[in-house]
Amino acid sequence: MSPSCGGTVDISVSLVLIISFATKSDTGNYSCMTQPPDTISPTVSIQIAGLQGQVWYWMLLGKSAILLFSLASLAVKYKRGELRRLSAHGAVSRLQARRHFGVSRCLTAKAPPARKPRERVEIPGLERITYAERMHYVPGLAKPVFPDWERDYKDPRHYRSPPVHEMPLYKEKPCYVFNQRTSVLEGVRQALWLTKTKLISGLPPHLVSVAENPANQIPDQDERVQNAIKHARFWDTTEERPRKEKYSKTLLINLIHLCATLQSSHPAIGRRILAEKYSLAATWKRGEDLFQIRGQNGLLHNSMDPLPAVSGSQEVADTADHVLETFYPVSPTIDLQKVHVYKEEVNSTGFRGDYPYPHSHTLYFLEGADARCKLRPEQFRANMLMFTFGNALAHAHKLYGTQPQRVLDSPVTVQAVGTNGRIFQFLVFQLNTTDLSGDDGIKNQVWLDEDVELYDFAKVRPLIKKKQVR
Amino acid sequence: MMVTFPLLAENNQHQLRAHIKRQPRPQWEENRGVQRSRLDGGGSHPDLLCFSILIRHKGIDLMRHNGIGSSNTKEDVVMALSCLTRGLRSLTVSQPALLSSQVAAQCKLGAQVPTTVGQHRGFLTTAPLEQNKTFWKKREKYTIKPIGMKKTGGRDHTGKIRTHGIGGGHKQRYRWIDFQRLRYEPGKEDQPFEEKVVEVRYDPCRSADIALVAGGNRKRWIIATENMHAGDIIKTSGVIGRMAVLANEGDAYALGALPVGTLVNNLEILPRRGAEYIRAAGTSGVLLRKVNGTAIVQLPSKQQVQVLETCMVTVGRVSNVDHNKQIIGKAGRNRWFGVRPSSGLWQRKGGWAGRKIKPLPAMKSYVNLPSIAAK
């Protein structure tokens, strides 16, 4: 039907119709005649404009303006199978406008709730006779069900992911994933069980002695640290006081910088580099379950040389007598994300193989880094422990392979510092074994120094000048 | 190119008519293919709306089952337009006076109707969005995270007040309580299990306190009993042994396993239905006796119920025991709770008021025992 210019339209009324199955190519002017010839031979002018997937027809007829809605667009979608999928997601179809079409009743009352469609019964062996061939409703025949329409080309803007069971990486056995937002119920005890670790409170004595050695301290240390705190807490903003996320990060960076000023006397500092937002992945088996740690935890100090082992081989062997603490009735996998779609054996330190600083030296954790998850101190320490372990494990897998090793020749040591801006937690983790399946045998070790306050308070007080405040 | 809109064939008309209820036609109605809807009320002119209804309701069917038998879009356009033209034609023919009276008399549409256009009945131009009052309740997956609630103010789905005296009050978030205490974890069916109480806290939605318990791989909220503290281990078991169990407070057992005379709460009257009775602060029921497969419990209102012995109960009194001793103190505190003042109108009290002394109602039985006569 090619468009033609219609006759004169002497009346200015528009009638809007929505008719399905029309496309934009139907735009144009149509004219119609009715039989028998009537007083009005209306001319129809049809324009088609797309409006959210609906096709609108404007028709000039008569004196009244009528707006007609129809289920046409919905029907088109139904025919395409989209509506069925929409209603499968209960919330989505409920939130769309449901038209109220019954006009034989009062229209001001609330529309009655949508009735559920009649249930389709499948009887095996019986063929359903539908009115699909007849192309129109025939009372007595069944309603045909057409297959869902699938796009025959790939459109990246309209991609529906397959259900979980059909994904290529789907596995029957679930995997428990620990990510940077996980908040485990039992805190450090659960992290210790998951990593098969023995906890020793307090930092190793030789580290403490290193810290107290005046040769390792910067000149004017107290004053410079206080300046760093004041900068982070007071001076780093144009507002009254900086927010917690901001000042904790500024303080950490300032303190790292202060430590780095010792480079002239400690050349090893020059062989380290900071890295941020690196993605860690490590896999291990614990009992019957598969565990993975994945995520971007925070700041990392990488170094060219590995850290020396903290405890000797005798202590390592002694850990075999230690019994891991269980917390019945809570299962150790509580709060971990259970996934069925995962890649097996992912082990990645976050850097490529030829990175010049392959060894993880220290991790820095900030409590306020992720606004979406607020971790309590216990959960924060557990998070620190898990990610330190993950770094060590990924490195051990890279060095020694993914087969579980009962005892590593040289244990992998990683340190971690966590802070909320005022309180610090220090952690030294030593990976002695990658054989984490059983509860017995050599355990890893962690030295944990909890809740060390750097300063008591840093309050912003209003300045009251004498003789100016009445 | 001129397009002719053919008249509706007779067979089409029948098909169309089949979907719309018949109306007695007034005598002066002369148009043939006109269908009317109920809104007409027997009105004279075929409402434009009726054609819209035609096309709206049966738009697709029209497309499908017109006598021509084609699914051509343009044919459908033709057909639909023909209906409309006919309707409009008769519309202009009708008497304006009749129209306006009918509009006045029969138009029930609300203020949404544009009344400026003269010669047609009003209609709804917008699609009313569904009331989203109860969407927050429609979540299917259990969660321990508090869910934001929408207050109803005592109004029901029509918008009118159904219960007076409710409205306002502090904002509350709903913590989804798991009333079915004997809910096994998927994979660990039919084994009595223990759970650890993580915390006991105030719930704004009820008078009792609630406890977050964790067991296995899941955490859930339950109604806390009187002496429950964080760190306690509570047991849930559906097994009924021959000997009665010495139950600790907070544990949940089947009624048949408990000794007679224990104080119980969170009673379910049908097995696995979920606790519906004895949940308020400080309440407790008493297990009175057990008789062949059923147990009789006395509720806090002294009413006795007979339930199957496999129904679960928890042992002890519900927490927050001093709830009834709380003094509100001022009207404002009641308003914080969402309690609106009652009507101040003095009304003469009738026979319903005053103290009544009457015997206890008969024992209610929720058990279908086979009758002796049915043998």
Torsion sign, CA atoms B179, B180, B181, B184: negative
Mean pLDDT within A139-146 = 90
The predicted pLDDT at position B322 comes to 95
**Do residues A448 and A404 make contact, with C-beta atoms less than 8 angstroms apart?**
no
The answer to whether residue A11 neighbours chain B at the CB level (below 8 Å) is: no
**Do residues A52 and A96 make contact, with C-beta atoms less than 8 angstroms apart?**
no
The answer to whether residue A47 neighbours chain B at the CB level (below 8 Å) is: no
Share of chain B above pLDDT 90, in %: 54
Per the DSSP assignment, residues forming a β-bridge with A280 are A295
Tokens 């927010």 found at = A243
The predicted pLDDT at position B220 comes to 96
Alpha carbons within 13 A on the beta-carbon side of A17: 30
- Is A135 in contact with B65 (Cβ distance < 8 A)? yes
Per the DSSP assignment, residues forming a β-bridge with A16 are A58, A67
The angle, 0 to 180 degrees and rounded to 10, between the axes of the packed helices B10-18 and B48-65 is 110
**Do residues A324 and A444 make contact, with C-beta atoms less than 8 angstroms apart?**
no
**Alpha-carbon distance A138 to nearest alpha carbon in chain B (angstroms):** 9
Torsion sign, CA atoms B365, B370, B371, B372: negative
| pLDDT of A27 strictly over 60 | no
The distance in angstroms from the start CA to the end CA of chain B is: 85
The residue with greater pLDDT, B21 or A122, is: A122
For the whole model, what pTM was predicted? 0.70
- Is B81 in contact with A104 (Cβ distance < 8 A)? no
The predicted pLDDT at position A26 comes to 52
| pLDDT of B54 strictly over 50 | no
List Cα–Cα distances, A60 to A7, A8, A72, B84, in angstroms.
11, 11, 21, 11
Q: Which residues of B touch A51 (CB under 8 A)?
A: none
| pLDDT of B324 strictly over 70 | yes
Q: Which residues of A touch B123 (CB under 8 A)?
A: 66-67, 103
Q: Write out pLDDT tens, residues B105-120.
A: 444 443 444 444 445 4
Find the closest chain B residue to A338 by CA distance: B217
The predicted pLDDT at position B91 comes to 47
Q: Which of A22, A111, A135 shows the shortest C-beta gap to B73?
A: A22
Q: Which of A2, A26, A334 shows the shortest C-beta gap to B214?
A: A334
Q: Which residues of B touch A109 (CB under 8 A)?
A: 158
Instruction: Name the 3-class secondary structure at A190.
Output: helix
Nearest CA to A203 among A447, A456, A469, A466?
A447
Q: Write out pLDDT tens, residues A209-222.
A: 998 898 888 889 99
| pLDDT of A36 strictly over 90 | no
Write the DSSP assignment of B277-314 as a string of letters. Answer: BS-STT--EEEEEEETTEEEEE-TTS-EEEEETT-EEE
- Chain A window 330-359: which residues touch B at a Cβ cutoff of 8 Å? 330-331, 333-334, 338
| pLDDT of A19 strictly over 60 | no
**Alpha-carbon distance B95 to nearest alpha carbon in chain A (angstroms):** 14
**Do residues B190 and B196 make contact, with C-beta atoms less than 8 angstroms apart?**
no
Helix ranges restricted to H, A283-376 = 313-318
Q: How confident is the model at residue B58 (pLDDT cuts 50, 70, 90)?
A: very low
Pairing of strands A299-303, A359-366: antiparallel
| pLDDT of B340 strictly over 70 | yes
* Count of Cβ atoms closer than 10 Å to residue B96 Cβ: 10
Q: Which residues of B touch A19 (CB under 8 A)?
A: 55, 59, 73, 76-77, 80
Using only C-alpha atoms, what is the Rg of chain B?
A: 33
| pLDDT of A254 strictly over 50 | yes
The predicted pLDDT at position B83 comes to 54
Q: How confident is the model at residue A469 (pLDDT cuts 50, 70, 90)?
A: low
Q: Which of B56, B91, B219 shows the shortest C-beta gap to A64?
A: B91
CA–CA dist A247, A242 (Å, integer): 6
DSSP letter, residue A270 = G
Tokens 């002497």 found at = A10
| Identity of the residue numbered B19 | H
Q: Write out pLDDT tens, residues B195-229.
A: 999 999 999 999 999 999 999 999 999 999 999 99
Helix (H) or strand (E) holding A413: strand A412-419
Q: Which of A21, A101, A330 shows the shortest C-beta gap to B215?
A: A330
**Spans of all domains in chain A:** 1-108, 170-453
Which two tokens mark A459? 């309050």
The predicted pLDDT at position A109 comes to 66
Which two tokens mark A36? 């028998």
Share of chain B above pLDDT 70, in %: 63
Quote the Cα angle for B308-B310-B315, to 5°: 105
- Is B74 in contact with A26 (Cβ distance < 8 A)? yes
Which two tokens mark B18? 């089949």
Widest distance between CA atoms in chain A: 111
Q: In what order do the strands lie in the sheet with A54-60?
A: A48-51, A54-60, A14-18, A66-67
CA–CA dist A398, A434 (Å, integer): 12
Q: Write out pLDDT tens, residues B294-319.
A: 999 999 999 999 999 999 999 999 99
The mean pLDDT of chain A is 80
Q: How confident is the model at residue A68 (pLDDT cuts 50, 70, 90)?
A: very low
Across chain B, the runs of DSSP E, i.e. the strands, are 147-148, 173-174, 193-202, 209-215, 218-223, 233-236, 252-254, 263-265, 285-291, 294-298, 304-308, 312-315, 364-365
Widest distance between CA atoms in chain B: 94
Which two tokens mark B339? 């309690």
The predicted pLDDT at position A57 comes to 43
Helix (H) or strand (E) holding A209: helix A205-212
Q: Which residues of A touch B198 (CB under 8 A)?
A: 185
Q: In what order do the strands lie in the sheet with B285-291?
A: B218-223, B209-215, B193-202, B233-236, B252-254, B312-315, B263-265, B285-291, B294-298, B304-308, B364-365
| pLDDT of A410 strictly over 60 | yes
The predicted pLDDT at position A198 comes to 94
Q: Which of B15, B119, B193 shows the shortest C-beta gap to A63?
A: B119
Distance of CA A250 to the CA centre of its chain: 26
List Cα–Cα distances, B151 to A393, A437, B166, B176, B332, in angstroms.
51, 52, 9, 16, 18
Write the DSSP assignment of B60-109 as a string of letters. Answer: HHHHHH-TT----HHHHHHHHHHHHHHHHHHHHHS-HHHHHHHHHHH---
CA–CA dist A396, A432 (Å, integer): 10
**Residue of B53, B130, B132 to mutate for A, most A C-beta atoms under 10 A:** B130
**Residue of A4, A14, A19, A326 to mutate for B, most B C-beta atoms under 10 A:** A19
Instruction: Name the 3-class secondary structure at A299.
Output: strand
Q: How confident is the model at residue B135 (pLDDT cuts 50, 70, 90)?
A: confident
| pLDDT of B78 strictly over 70 | no
Nearest CA to B269 among B237, B307, B215, B232?
B307
**Residue of A18, A25, A70 to mutate for B, most B C-beta atoms under 10 A:** A70
Instruction: Name the 3-class secondary structure at B147.
Output: strand
The predicted pLDDT at position A378 comes to 94
The mean pLDDT of chain B is 76
**Alpha-carbon distance B197 to nearest alpha carbon in chain A (angstroms):** 10
**Alpha-carbon distance B211 to nearest alpha carbon in chain A (angstroms):** 15
The residue with greater pLDDT, A82 or A407, is: A407
Mean pLDDT within A297-317 = 87
| pLDDT of B98 strictly over 90 | no
Q: What is the ipTM of this complex?
A: 0.72
**Do residues A392 and A399 make contact, with C-beta atoms less than 8 angstroms apart?**
no
The answer to whether residue A175 neighbours chain B at the CB level (below 8 Å) is: no
**Do residues B303 and B364 make contact, with C-beta atoms less than 8 angstroms apart?**
yes
The answer to whether residue A5 neighbours chain B at the CB level (below 8 Å) is: no
- Is A68 in contact with B196 (Cβ distance < 8 A)? no
The predicted pLDDT at position A35 comes to 46
Q: Write out pLDDT tens, residues A268-287.
A: 899 999 998 889 999 999 98
- Is B88 in contact with A42 (Cβ distance < 8 A)? yes
Distance of CA B205 to the CA centre of its chain: 18
Instruction: Name the 3-class secondary structure at A276.
Output: strand
Of A100-109, A412-421, B184-193, the one with minimum mean pLDDT is: A100-109
Q: How confident is the model at residue B81 (pLDDT cuts 50, 70, 90)?
A: low
Q: Which residues of B touch A30 (CB under 8 A)?
A: 3, 77
- Is B127 in contact with A91 (Cβ distance < 8 A)? no
| pLDDT of B31 strictly over 70 | no
| pLDDT of A360 strictly over 80 | yes
Which two tokens mark B212? 């977050």
b (16+ CB within 10 A) / e for B39-49:
bbeebbbbbbb
List of residues 6+ apart from A330 with CB closer than 8 A:
A185, A186, B196, B214, B215, B216
